[in-house]
Amino acid sequence: MTVSEPSIRATRWPAVRPWLGVAARLGLAAVWLVAGASKVDDLAASGRAVHAYQLLPYDVATVVGAALPFVELALGVLLLLGLATRLAAGVSAALLVVFIAGITSAWSRGLAIDCGCFGSGGQLAEGQAPSYLPEILRDLGFLALAGFLLIWPRTPVSVDGWLTGDVPVEGEDE
């Protein structure tokens, strides 16, 4: 039996994975910060966008719509800082699953709405076609980022690492 050196692929993954985590963390942070910032100035419009899905009573939809931008901003800040990364990734994943389910539901019921993901949303003008498939695919991509961070939350340049002194080391697996 001969002993061979580990493959290049096997030796690169431990070195690359933490930096992919940084990219996933910062990318998802940017999504949440842009989404929350685009809605925080008009909470009533955010409530109307949630109500347009016709899944919640109006009063509940307006409360959810008013709270959502602040949840998105909080997730964005946590991910930007790398603080409670696994928790923020888990909440992100749950929210994205809800968003995907809501868009799929609107599509299957023939509603013509703008998702309201990065703005006011709500009913589309007569003759304007919704773009549900690209929205679902986009959110699935964001869900993949959250999933990556759920599995590998430890990343360089993060408060989590600084607080615990537990920064990923090349060749170390979690």
Percent of the chain with pLDDT over 90: 68
Exposure class string for 83-114: b at 16+ Cβ within 10 A, else e:
ebbeebbbbbbebbeebbebbeebbeeebbbb
DSSP E strand boundaries for the chain: 113-114, 122-123
- The residue among 44 and 161 whose pLDDT is bigger is 44
- Average pLDDT of the residues of the chain: 89
Q: CB neighbours of 64 closer than 8 A, spacing ≥ 6?
A: 47, 50, 56
Q: Answer yes or no: are the C-beta atoms of 105 and 115 closer than 8 Å.
A: no
Which pLDDT value is given to residue 161?
A: 74
Q: State the DSSP H helix or E strand holding residue 13, giving kind and residue range, or none if neither.
A: helix 8-40
Residue 102's pLDDT band, with cuts at 50, 70 and 90, is: very high
Which pLDDT value is given to residue 37?
A: 97
pLDDT, tens digit, for every residue of 18-66?
999 999 999 999 999 999 999 999 999 999 999 999 999 999 999 999 9
Q: Rounded CA gap, 87 and 34, in Å?
A: 20
Residue 174's pLDDT band, with cuts at 50, 70 and 90, is: very low
List the domain boundaries for the chain: 16-152
Residue 14's pLDDT band, with cuts at 50, 70 and 90, is: confident
Average confidence (pLDDT) over 146-163:
89
Handedness of CA 158, 163, 169, 172 (dihedral sign): negative
Q: Helix %, strand %, coil % for the chain, to 5? A: 65, 0, 30
The answer, yes or no, to whether residue 134 has pLDDT greater than 90, is: yes
Which pLDDT value is given to residue 20?
A: 94
